[in-house]
Amino acid sequence: MVVELADPALDRLFRALADPSRRDILRRTLSAPASVSELAERYEMSFAAVQKHVAVLEAAGLVRKTAQGRERLVRAEPAQVARARAVLVELERLWEARFSQLDSILVPAKE
């Protein structure tokens, strides 16, 4: 995988993951879907604030909202979580290779 750093979708993905409340909402909805109301009960913030967090996650493709009666269920999108992981793994490989190159330059060879 080649990491394309100038990718607006990738920017949205990591911007969404930058907030601890959004990461927690994502974590909760990975195991089971939850209504926005159920999610809002778990946080010391307004219902509207939780809705905004869900909207950011949805715009990044990390969750999907579906109507079930009068409620909106929030479900995590594991494929997007996997994409974030793959990007991080690729960046880790890149940096490990760079550190290895740096080691070969800085650490004298044993004779």
Give me the tens of pLDDT residue by residue for the chain, a chain 111 residues long: 555 667 888 899 999 999 999 999 999 999 999 999 999 999 999 999 999 999 999 999 999 999 989 989 999 999 999 999 998 898 888 887 777 777 677 777 666
CA end-to-end span of the chain, whole Å?
Answer: 38
pLDDT at 97: 74
Q: Which two tokens stand for residue 36?
A: 């926005």
3-state secondary structure 33-100: CEEHHHHHHCCCCCHHHHHHHHHHHHHCCCEEEEEECCEEEEEECHHHHHHHHHHHHHHHHHHHHHHH
Find where tokens 């909760």 sit.
28
Could you say which of 1.10.10.10, 3.40.50.1820, 3.10.440.10, 3.40.50.10490 is the CATH number of the domain covering 8-106? Answer: 1.10.10.10
Look at residue 105 in the predicted model and tell me its pLDDT. 74
Output the pLDDT for position 7. 82
Q: Please give the DSSP secondary-structure letter assigned to residue 7.
A: -
Determine if the pTM surpasses 0.85.
Answer: no
- Domain boundaries along the sequence of the chain: 8-106
> What pLDDT, on the 0 to 100 scale, is given for residue 2?
55
pLDDT at position 5: 63
Q: Which amino acid is at 66?
A: T
